């Protein structure tokens, strides 16, 4: 089954809160909500679980002033510009049944950011591999390559005859700063600004295959497929969740400095200072271990010709 961005958020949140999670104060909206509304309708039976302050609906953080326990009408603190899409989130429309999470411990937007930060940090330790082919032309040494090429891993050329052997090209150079100015590059300007220069003897008309590495893609929509969007295999999912947890848990240490509720004061002696940092270190160790495993595996699966010939 494909792993989506929403799946990653759910897995990370479960690791942060435990599989039983905590008893979050939840309700749900009973009428559609536009991106400019300054009131919304919550379920009258559970509206009392909403408190003044920040609530989360889907990925949006909203600032609440008060609620009517009889009608379920929730009023925001001020106008939409002030109360909607706060804390770096975006005001969006919400459908009937969307959950309202009062004072979320780990907002979905922060979890998504930690996941994407972790994915981005995997490069250049772990690469996304791809291939690009083009025909070799006599008397031409420089050829454009796709714009997402970050580095070239190896180059091979298809030989003449029925064998179908792809011969290694050893004399080549990657040019990441090729000119895109018309008239300065022959026979045509390079639209991507990146080229490969070939200096081996290749039969004209033969195919050249460039194996290259690139950065992973960024997840955006909740339905984005992890493997298709990032270019990484699904087996990286656990590693990404470990890295995201290591990034998010230190926020609990800062929360200890703001013990303004009875519950926080009672829990303080039971959960000593440094507990969140210790948990963060644990997840960081898990992340580091998995990163080493996948890096070792990558070099076994994608041997270059230097490794092969040695």
Q: For residues 10-33, give the mean pLDDT.
A: 84
Alpha carbon distance 245, 14 (integer Å): 10
Model confidence over 224-246: pLDDT tens digits? 999 999 999 999 999 999 999 99
Model confidence over 183-234: pLDDT tens digits? 555 555 567 789 999 998 888 889 999 999 999 999 999 999 999 999 999 9
End of a domain among 179, 214, 249?
214
Are residues 236 and 111 both part of a single domain? yes
pLDDT of 269 > 80? The answer is no
Q: Where are the alpha helices (DSSP H) in 232-274?
A: 237-248, 251-255, 262-267
In this prediction, residue 192 carries a pLDDT of 77
Are residues 46 and 134 both part of a single domain? no
Are residues 196 and 243 both part of a single domain? no
pLDDT of 305 > 60? The answer is no
In this prediction, residue 264 carries a pLDDT of 54
Are residues 187 and 83 both part of a single domain? no
Percentage of the residues of the chain whose pLDDT score is greater than 90: 55
Are residues 239 and 147 both part of a single domain? no
In this prediction, residue 115 carries a pLDDT of 97
- Among 57-66, 115-124, 246-255, which is the least confidently predicted range? 246-255
Are residues 224 and 280 both part of a single domain? yes
Q: Estimate to the nearest angstrom the gap between the alpha carbon of 46 and the chain centroid.
A: 34
pLDDT of 267 > 80? The answer is no
Model confidence over 162-173: pLDDT tens digits? 777 888 888 999
Q: Please give the tally of structural domains in the chain.
A: 3
Are residues 111 and 166 both part of a single domain? no
Max Cα–Cα distance, the chain, nearest Å:
83
Contact 212, 144 (CB under 8 A): no
- Check which CATH number belongs to the domain holding 27 and give it: 2.40.10
In this prediction, residue 308 carries a pLDDT of 47
Are residues 294 and 223 both part of a single domain? yes
State the chain's mean pLDDT as an integer.
86
End of a domain among 183, 214, 245?
214
For the packed helices 275-301 and 237-248, what is the interaxial angle rounded to 10 degrees?
150
Domain that holds residue 142: 128-214
Q: The tokens of 276 are what?
A: 């969140």
Are residues 38 and 174 both part of a single domain? no
End of a domain among 40, 72, 104?
104
The model's pTM is 0.81
Model confidence over 24-71: pLDDT tens digits? 788 999 999 999 999 999 999 999 888 888 999 999 999 999 999 999
Model confidence over 70-89: pLDDT tens digits? 999 999 998 888 999 999 99
Are residues 94 and 152 both part of a single domain? no
Are residues 301 and 223 both part of a single domain? yes
Are residues 111 and 140 both part of a single domain? no
Alpha carbon distance 63, 74 (integer Å): 10
Alpha carbon distance 229, 233 (integer Å): 10
> How long a stretch of residues is the chain?
310
Contacts of 113 (CB under 8 A, 6+ apart): none
In this prediction, residue 179 carries a pLDDT of 76
Model confidence over 129-149: pLDDT tens digits? 899 999 998 888 889 899 889
């Amino acid at each position: 089954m494909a792993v989506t961005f929403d799946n990653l958020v759910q897995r990370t949140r479960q690791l942060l809160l435990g599989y039983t999670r905590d008893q979050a104060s939840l309700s749900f909206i009973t009428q559609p909500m536009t991106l400019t509304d300054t009131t919304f309708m919550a379920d009258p039976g559970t509206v009392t679980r909403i408190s003044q302050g920040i609530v989360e609906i889907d990925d949006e953080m909203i600032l609440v002033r008060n609620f009517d326990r009889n009608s379920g009408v929730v009023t925001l603190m001020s106008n939409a510009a002030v109360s909607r899409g706060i804390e770096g989130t975006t005001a969006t429309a919400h459908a009937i049944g969307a959950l309202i999470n009062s004072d979320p411990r780990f907002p979905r937007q922060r979890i998504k950011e930690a996941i994407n930060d972790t994915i981005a940090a995997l490069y250049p330790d772990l690469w996304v591999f791809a291939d690009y082919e083009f025909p070799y032309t006599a008397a031409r040494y420089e050829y454009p390559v796709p714009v997402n090429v970050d580095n070239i891993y190896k180059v091979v050329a298809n030989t003449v005859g029925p064998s179908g052997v792809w011969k290694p090209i050893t004399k080549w150079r990657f040019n990441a700063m090729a000119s895109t100015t018309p008239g300065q590059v022959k026979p045509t300007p390079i639209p991507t600004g990146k080229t490969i220069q070939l200096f081996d003897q290749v039969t004209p008309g033969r195919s050249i295959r460039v194996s290259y590495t690139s950065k992973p893609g960024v997840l955006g929509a909740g339905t984005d497929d992890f493997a298709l969007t990032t270019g990484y295999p699904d087996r990286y999912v656990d590693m990404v969740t470990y890295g995201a947890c290591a990034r998010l848990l230190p926020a609990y240490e800062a929360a200890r400095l703001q013990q303004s509720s009875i519950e926080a004061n009672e829990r303080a002696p039971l959960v000593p200072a440094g507990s969140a940092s210790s948990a963060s270190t644990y997840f960081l160790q898990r992340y580091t271990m998995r990163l080493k495993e996948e890096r070792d595996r990558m070099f076994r699966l994608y041997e270059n010709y230097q490794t092969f010939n040695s």
